[in-house]
Structure 1
Amino acid sequence: MRIVLHMMESVALPGGGGVKAAIKGYRIAIKTGTAKKVGPDGKYVNKYIAYTAGVAPASNPRFALVVVINDPQAGKYYGGAVSAPVFGSIMGSVLRTMNVEPDAIPTGDKSEMVTNKNEGSSDRS
């Protein structure tokens, strides 16, 4: 289980497809995804479902959340671009509201990379 959790943590780190879900001060473990929809005739259509599922804090998971965006708009449809930021916003609010202690690596170490969710990110997943 720890190996899978560690792999899911890397998704929200720089270079990962879900870096836009990063929550300052917290380690999160997520999986993003994108599915193409099928029309009534059984053929793929140009409509999508974007999702991000995960747990936090990654060091000792207390909360799980799944965000599903049906038919994303504005030309973006990848989970990392559409549902990951929503996941980060909701989960961040939950962690702060529930007074969960931050578990990220202290500043000056890797935390700058962990918490900088909008620079050098990949939207695709």
Structure 2
Amino acid sequence: MRKAFFEAVKTHLETELDLFSAVRMSVLDIDEEDIVFRFTPSSPGIRYMDKTVTKNIVFQILVKHSDRLTVMNTIEHIAEALELSDGELSPEDGSFSFTQCEIYTEPSEVDITAKKLFIWSAMFRAEIHKNKEE
């Protein structure tokens, strides 16, 4: 389900925004400008009596670019694009139903690399309902 969630977020961002790089699920590339999605620890979900499950997913988006204004604008646009509500994000495999996504930590500068690439980060919290397997 996590891969499906990442793919849905990636598709949404790359469809809605004109990004300088594809969104990847990995570590930041050392030498290149990059946009990376990373899962971070989150609280457990809720299991209901009817066996449905609500999951909390916390994730981080890191953006790295040589131009400070580009990296700032990109992370801000990503943050705005991920303020989503019920049904605005859907996986291709139907493994979950999307409830909401909101910013968890506002965009901020994290580091400047030795190669003068600026790194900014923002964190998000999403709530999804795991769909029952038929």
**TM-score of the aligned structures, taking structure 1 as reference length:** 0.29
Structure with the greater relative contact order (CA < 8 A, sep ≥ 6): 1 or 2? 1
**TM-score of the aligned structures, taking structure 2 as reference length:** 0.27
> Counting strand residues as a fraction of each chain, which structure ranks higher?
2
